């Protein structure tokens, strides 16, 4: 095995790992995130969001609320599917 074959094998393995990661990430993270975003858009009024995150709200009120919201929305749902080869 010469150096060119080793480099091509490494590049091919890296590409396969990247494709595998992207396909798993789409299924387990992106699809639930889109459903959550759609539910928020459908059920939460714009005025309710602007009440806490609008331009006239004090930063000491909006930043902690944003942090808590990010933790709640950012956690991975327990029903996510783990695909193992």
pLDDT per residue over 48-60, tens digit each? 888 888 888 899 9
- 10 located within any domain: yes
Report angle CA 30, 20, 6 to the nearest 5 degrees.
150
In-domain check, residue 80: no
Decide if pLDDT at 71 tops 90: no
- Which pLDDT band holds residue 30 (cuts at 50, 70, 90)? confident
38 assigned to some structural domain = yes
Q: Nearest CA to 83 among 33, 14, 20?
A: 20
Confirm whether 26 is domain-assigned. yes
Instruction: Please report whether residue 28 resides in a domain.
Output: yes
The answer to whether residue 83 sits within a structural domain is no
- Specify the 3-state DSSP secondary structure of 62: helix
Q: Is 79 within a domain?
A: no
Say how many C-beta atoms besides its own lie within 10 A of residue 5's C-beta. 9
Q: Which domain holds residue 50?
A: 3-74
Structural domain count, the chain: 1
pLDDT digits (tens, 9 = 90+) for 33-53: 888 888 888 998 988 888 888
- Quote the CA–CA distance of 21 and 79 in Å, as a whole number: 18
User: Minimal CA–CA distance to 52: which of 35, 39, 64, 37?
Assistant: 64
């Amino acid at each position: 095995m010469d150096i060119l074959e080793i480099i091509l094998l490494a590049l091919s393995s890296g590409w396969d790992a990247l494709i595998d990661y992207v396909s798993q990430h789409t299924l387990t993270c992106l699809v639930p995130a889109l459903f959550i975003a759609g539910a928020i858009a459908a059920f939460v009024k714009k005025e309710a969001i602007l009440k806490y995150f609008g331009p006239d709200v004090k930063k000491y009120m909006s930043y902690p609320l944003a942090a808590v919201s990010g933790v709640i929305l950012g956690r991975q749902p327990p029903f996510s599917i783990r695909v193992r080869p």
